């Protein structure tokens, strides 16, 4: 057994062997929010471990996915997944309807990190930006007609996006695009770059941050 002090309730509870913090809390009559019933899906049972985080067992796989998505600090734990081996002091973080609404909003945000965490993979993104004329129109038969853009500028933007891989960057733009926003963004200029399918070399700019 291990002593768990719950705040703001100021209650000390002896957690039984193999009992989660949530189980111990509910057994003691604490109104601990647990919207998904303890299945590591809602995060409403979250607590912050104020003392004794070293006594918490490592995160379960399900908890790890949520913690990655929501970028939890190591001290923030799901009570429904956490077991302890020694004394801890925790504070419940979802105490009223307002807290609950905030958490639900947070959980609705899509996160590529969450997908990666769930599948045990990491993701990176590459953005290519170009400025030029395109043709906008609808393609396809009536049932699955969709709006699209075509033209050399679209192909060029696509090639720039691909160039991120070899340039080890995430956001590259062409010189034509850079001239449109030169006063707005800080960039690193890349050495002249060969673009697949195009002759000659092109100036590409890595977007670093907006200018303040």
Separation of alpha carbons 169 and 152, rounded Å: 23
Residues that bind ligand FES (rule: CB under 6 A) add up to a total of 13
| Widest Cα–Cα separation across the chain | 73
Closest by CA position to 62, among listed 84, 47, 77 = 77
Nearer to ligand FES, 80 or 157 (CB): 80
Instruction: Using the rule CB under 6 A, give the single segment among 11-19, 39-47, 87-95, 147-155 that binds ligand FES.
Output: 39-47
How would you label 127-165 residue by residue, b for 16+ Cβ within 10 Å and e otherwise? ebbbbeeeeeeeeeeeeeeeeeeeeebeebbebbbebbe
Separation of alpha carbons 86 and 114, rounded Å: 30
Beta-bridged to residue 138, according to DSSP, are 147
Q: Does residue 42 bind ligand FES (CB under 6 A)?
A: yes
From residue 80 to residue 119, the character string flagging contacts with ligand FES as x (rule: CB under 6 A) and all else as - is x---------------------------------------
Q: Does residue 38 bind ligand FES (CB under 6 A)?
A: yes
Separation of alpha carbons 13 and 6, rounded Å: 8
Question: CB of residue 37 vs ligand FES: minimum separation in angstroms?
Answer: 6
Separation of alpha carbons 134 and 140, rounded Å: 18
Q: Does residue 78 bind ligand FES (CB under 6 A)?
A: yes
Q: Does residue 44 bind ligand FES (CB under 6 A)?
A: yes
Nearer to ligand FES, 5 or 41 (CB): 41
Q: Does residue 65 bind ligand FES (CB under 6 A)?
A: no
Q: Does residue 43 bind ligand FES (CB under 6 A)?
A: yes
Q: Which residues bind ligand FES (CB under 6 A)?
A: 34-36, 38-45, 78, 80
């Amino acid at each position: 057994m291990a002593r768990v002090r719950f705040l703001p309730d100021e209650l000390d509870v002896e957690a039984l062997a193999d009992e989660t913090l949530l189980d111990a809390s509910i057994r003691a009559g604490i109104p601990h929010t647990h919207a998904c019933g303890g299945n590591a899906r809602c995060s409403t049972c979250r607590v912050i471990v104020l003392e004794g985080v070293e006594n918490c067992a490592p995160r379960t796989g399900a908890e790890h996915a949520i913690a990655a998505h929501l970028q939890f600090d190591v001290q923030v734990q799901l009570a429904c997944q956490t077991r302890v081996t020694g004394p801890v002091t925790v504070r419940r973080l979802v105490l009223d309807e307002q807290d609950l609404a905030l958490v639900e909003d947070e959980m609705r945000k899509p996160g590529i990190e969450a997908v990666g965490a769930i599948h045990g993979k990491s993701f990176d993104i590459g953005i290519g930006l170009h400025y030029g004329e395109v043709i906008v129109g609808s393609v396809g038969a009536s049932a699955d007609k969709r709006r699209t853009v075509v033209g050399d500028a679209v192909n060029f933007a696509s090639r720039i996006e691909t160039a991120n891989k070899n340039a080890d960057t995430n956001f590259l733009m062409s010189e034509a695009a850079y001239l449109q926003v030169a006063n707005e963004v800080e960039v690193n200029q890349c050495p002249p770059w060969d673009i697949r399918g195009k002759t000659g070399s092109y100036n590409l700019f890595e977007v670093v941050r907006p200018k303040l």
